[in-house]
Amino acid sequence: MDTVRPDARAWFEERTTAATSLADLDPAGLLRAKRRGGHRVSVVLPARNEETTVGRLVADVREHWMRAVPLVDELVVVDSDSTDGTAAAARAAGADVVATTDVLPEHGTRPGKGEALWKSLAATTGDLVVFLDADLLGDVTHYVPGLLAPLLTDPQVRYVKGCYTRPLEVEGTVVPAGGGRVTELTARPLLNALWPELAGVVQPLGGEYAGRRSALEQVPFVSAYGVEVGLLVDLLRLGGLSSLAQVDLGVRRHTSQPIEALGEMAGQVVATVLARAACTRQPSGLLTRFRHDGSGFMPHSSPVAVDERPPMITVPEYRARLAG
Ligand SMILES: O=c1ccn([C@@H]2O[C@H](COP(=O)(O)OP(=O)(O)O)[C@@H](O)[C@H]2O)c(=O)[nH]1
Ligand SMILES: O=C(O)[C@@H](COP(=O)(O)O)O[C@H]1O[C@H](CO)[C@@H](O)[C@H](O)[C@H]1O
């Protein structure tokens, strides 16, 4: 970190804590802090076709953090247009399940992870909200308390990103630190170029994070895969670098997508960054990639323009529920 900007280096040193296993944590102490602060905690899993992994994650959170040590008050799986048994698997494991189509129906439904996360704010009640991907593999029991700890112990912190090493498992081959391909090839270079104060964020796109509802409801949610980079930049603007923190959760394994699918994700990340960087040129909103059919390259374009939902606090139906 010796060449990075002083503010990013200071943030990295002051705002990075370790929770690489339960041994790094004091769940009973966190429960006391939760009760002292009068907090209510919601855990949200956005899930699209995750029937093989969602049930284990739900059961783990319920057993450890709702029954044994009640850090969590509400566990919601947001079914994001799944076509498999995700909802049934999540419900069987004990989660509340809501379909994106059933939340704020007056506002329609858009495809994408960010849409599921935006709607989760209207489907949950905790003043602290923890987000976990629903395709996580391996032992992740310590993720929830690890992400909550900074929010429960430091009132200045409003948003906590998980960070971790990211093995890449593709077609059965495991590369110890090959994961986070869009992070390494797109998000990190762009953020370092345009928001160097965020250079200390180890996993800007990581899918595990937690925040105060009072902050999350004040920022837009990009509807697709731009949601993480959009939240990071927007919450930086909202509360400043000192309102952000990160926690080292050790290792993160998940079911990785093929590189072809990540091209579109990268396009959405770039579109989200450009929209926030107020670039003078108008992004095209299109990404053209190429397949070789044996005789020549075949171009194919897909839309990557960002769509985003407004801050939830501006939604009348949400405000009415808060007032209710
Ligand atoms: O339209 C979508 C796409 C993804 N997801 C969920 O968002 C998380 C991260 O998505 P994915 O695994 O596709 O991204 P990756 O981790 O491979 O980058 C997973 O729980 C997905 O089920 C979702 O809820 N709606
Ligand atoms: O970090 C990344 O580069 C991507 C892809 O990760 P892999 O290369 O499949 O390990 O994964 C993340 O990015 C998505 C977009 O922000 C998030 O929605 C995912 O939760 C996260 O896994």
CATH of the domain at 78: 3.90.550.10
- Which tokens hold the place of 7? 């503010």
The three-class DSSP label of residue 255 is: coil
Residue 127 falls inside a structural domain: yes
pLDDT in tens, 125-181: 999 999 999 999 999 999 999 999 999 999 999 999 999 999 998 777 888 888 999
The three-class DSSP label of residue 181 is: helix
50 lines ligand 1 (CB under 6 A): yes
Give the per-residue pLDDT at 290.
Answer: 66
What's the DSSP call for residue 219?
A: S
Ligand 1 centroid to Cα of residue 115, in Å, is 11
Are the C-beta atoms of 172 and 178 separated by less than 8 Å?
A: no
User: Does 1 have pLDDT greater than 60?
Assistant: no
For 207, the domain range is: 6-323
Mutate to test the pocket of ligand 1, among 135, 137, 169 (most ligand atoms within 8 A of CB): 135
Give the per-residue pLDDT at 43.
Answer: 99
pLDDT in tens, 54-80: 999 999 999 999 999 999 999 999 999
Residue 240 falls inside a structural domain: yes
Number of domains within the chain: 1
205 lines ligand 1 (CB under 6 A): no
Buried b (16+ CB within 10 A) or exposed e, 73-93: bbbbbbbbbbeebbbebbbeb
**102: how many CB neighbours lie within 10 A of its CB?**
13
Residue 227 falls inside a structural domain: yes
Nearest-ligand number for the alpha carbon of 166: 2
Of 134, 151, 136, 167, nearest to 244 by C-alpha is 151
- Model pTM score: 0.94
Residue 1 falls inside a structural domain: no
Residue 237 falls inside a structural domain: yes
48 lines ligand 2 (CB under 6 A): no
Mutate to test the pocket of ligand 1, among 45, 80, 113 (most ligand atoms within 8 A of CB): 113
Q: Which residue has the tokens 């790094």?
A: 24
Of all residues in the chain, the percent with pLDDT exceeding 90 is 81
